Chain A
Amino acid sequence: MASKADIAEGATTDKSRGGGVAKGRVLLRGVTKCFGAVDVIKGVDLEIAPGELTVFVGPSGCGKSTLLRLVSGLELPTGGSIIIGDRDVTLVHPSERGIAMVFQSYALYPHMSVAENMGFGLKIAGLPKPLIKEKVAKAAEILQLTPLLDRKPRALSGGQRQRVAIGRCIVREPEVFLFDEPLSNLDAALRGQMRVEIARLHAKLGATMIYVTHDQVEAMTLATRIVVLNAGRIEQIGAPIELYRHPANLFVAGFIGSPAMNFMDGIVEAVETDGVSVRLNGATLRLPRHDAAVKPGAKVTVGIRPEHFRVGPTPTDMDHDQAVEFDAIIDLVERLGGETLAHLRMPSLSDGVLVVKISGDVPLRIGTGLRVGVRLAQCHLFDADGRAVGEPAARAVVAA
């Protein structure tokens, strides 16, 4: 009986785990993971501060889910260590790490009612029944599941099932919540709704959360910080808007933002203290850069986001040294309603087709000409290795 009380005490106050300032902190040190001969995670160092909602984002197969499973303990790392709170949990059983996880497929127990699903972890831990009931009731209230407690999972809608899965986590009062693509099985409307609910829950509980997704919108809207992963490595870590404005490399630049950033190949013509002149297909752009570490003649890539192009007779309305304008031919028009994606040919910039995002009410006809402009400060510049060059371009620009 005494041991049961101890467990109850530990679960409610978390005195036994971590404690102190570091509670809810997650630290990964040189974590690697190989499946046979395949290196899935190639050395990840990451610190997640208590209370942060960190989103792991990246293309399929980049290792984001594997990294989450390493934190959860469902997989053990090949090398490196994982610290949650103050404890090294690298080899600790998942149930003793102070984590709880929401799965993409919900992973509810089909033969148990909602209440049993939520209380299962506590039952296994040997908590007394009245205490389990109390905790389940409390979590159900937070998630508005109270009227559904006696139902079986099959009698619930997708959104309700996902809420039960989240409830199962809340009941455990973990230091860290782990979400593995929790919304990807829901339809678009419900996904938006659940996204808001998760954001609210995070604000309410203030717990550390790690959230894996391939959906940029989820990443941008939910995250305190985003970790962009590619091929088992971290490409960049930063606040969502930081990643959007100042991508550290070509991969992040192409991955964050929808539609993706346009890339144009160029050659450096001249490097000055406050700018780099880049020769593109037909035009030369003088991009404002401080201390750019490139040499004249070097191959570079210029990136411009679709939403940073302006169209109209005088698209930019700025001095020649702050903006440039080009003539373009309309190749294809995708109307989304509120906005329009125009695929344009701009021979002076590139041989390929560039995507431009403009207001939905601009009349556009395929084959006709269009005057397009862009602010030089909003252009991104990457060297031959794909790294961003010099002081980031748009740092001076306040919300475009």
Chain B
Amino acid sequence: MSLISAPRRDVAWIGRFSALLRYAVLIGVGLLMLYPLFWMVAASFKPNHEIFGSAGLWPQEPTMDGVVKGWRTGTEYSFATYLLNSFAFIMPKVLLTVVSSVLVAYGFARFRMPGKQLWFALMVATILLPKSVLLIPQYLMFREFGWLDTYLPLYVPCAFATDGFFVFMVVQFLRGIPPDMEEAAVIDGCNSLQVLWHVVVPVIMPAIISVALFQFMWSLNDFLYPLIYLSSVGKYPVALALKMAIDVTEATAWNQVLAMSTIALLPSLIVFFLAQKYFVEGITSGSVKG
């Protein structure tokens, strides 16, 4: 009896210890990674002099000063204007990206066409192309169109599935889905677009939401393109407004900048958590064998 139970007690103890160790390391590293974020949020509620004065996270003299002044900004517009500006081009951008990427991906994944392999390889190659290479020709082109200082250069290209990465992502997702459902829909009388709308889109919804989410977050964080194409301060998006707060004054009010950065993070966070369950949910489960 004792011969059997003694090693068991050992095994249980080792198991518990190793779990403890694992979680301690994970939590430690996790906190280390998130510390800058916590620091930013905490610093939003510190007076400016305290930010670099102490290394502590918790504000010693908590104040809403940074948030209130930061929201007013140093310009004639409030931060709300910049937030709305961001949405003004991000919304059409996300919509056009989703529609064009899904259409093109559906074509690549399901239709036979001459030279398909070559076209697909070319499209993937554009993902590898550094964005900055295209800046000057694009700028000249949009200047000819008379689109400078408008949001058009920021979202119109998305209507042509120019983001190869998203097309690639949806194609890969579609390749993992058996075409039987679509064939059943064809027999049920759908044309290609009806198959796409009634069957493919609902099934690839997780991929579509991923595309929308990535495009939303990347566009919100995008700094370079708005900087190049927009010149009126009244049209600036969040990323430019934050930059402006840093260099217009001699002594930067870091608490204001950090408070506004925190607010600028919120839309992404909210959208992410709203969409999260669609990543997890396996929407295809149950359609084919199981």
Contacts and interface: CB of A to CB of B under 8 A. Distances in A.
Interface stretch (A15-23, A77-85, A97-105, A223-231): A97-105
Given A74-B183, A95-B189, A101-B187, A110 B286 contact: yes
Contacts of B187: 72-74, 94-95, 99-101, 121
B194 interface: yes
Nearest to B287: A110
Contacts of B284: 110
A124 B183 CA distance: 14
B253 interface: no
Contacts of A101: 183-184, 187
Nearest to B189: A95
Given A108-B287, A154-B286, A95 B186 contact: yes
A111 interface: yes
Contacts of A110: 181, 202-203, 283-287
Given A124-B190, A124-B194, A168 B287 contact: no
Contact of A120 (B180, B198, B203, B289): B198
Interface string B261-290: 000000000000000000000011111111
A167 interface: no
Given A95-B188, A124-B194, A125-B189, A106 B287 contact: yes
Given A100-B187, A154-B286, A158-B289, A105 B203 contact: no
Q: Of A74, A156, A158, which is in contact with the most chain B CB atoms at under 10 Å from its CB?
A: A74
A100 B184 CA distance: 9
Interface in A104-137: 104-111, 120-121, 124-125
A396 B230 CA distance: 95
Query: What size tier do the contact residues of chain B reach?
Result: 20 to 34
A152 interface: yes
B287 A121 contact: no
Interface string A249-290: 000000000000000000000000000000000000000000
B181 A109 contact: yes
Contacts of B188: 95, 120-121, 124, 168, 172
Contacts of A93: 186
B290 A158 contact: yes
B181 A107 contact: yes
Contacts of B28: none
Closest 5 CB pairs of A and B: A154-B286, A110-B287, A95-B189, A121-B188, A107-B180
Interface of A: 72-74, 93-96, 99-101, 103-111, 120-121, 124-125, 152-156, 158, 161, 168, 172, 185
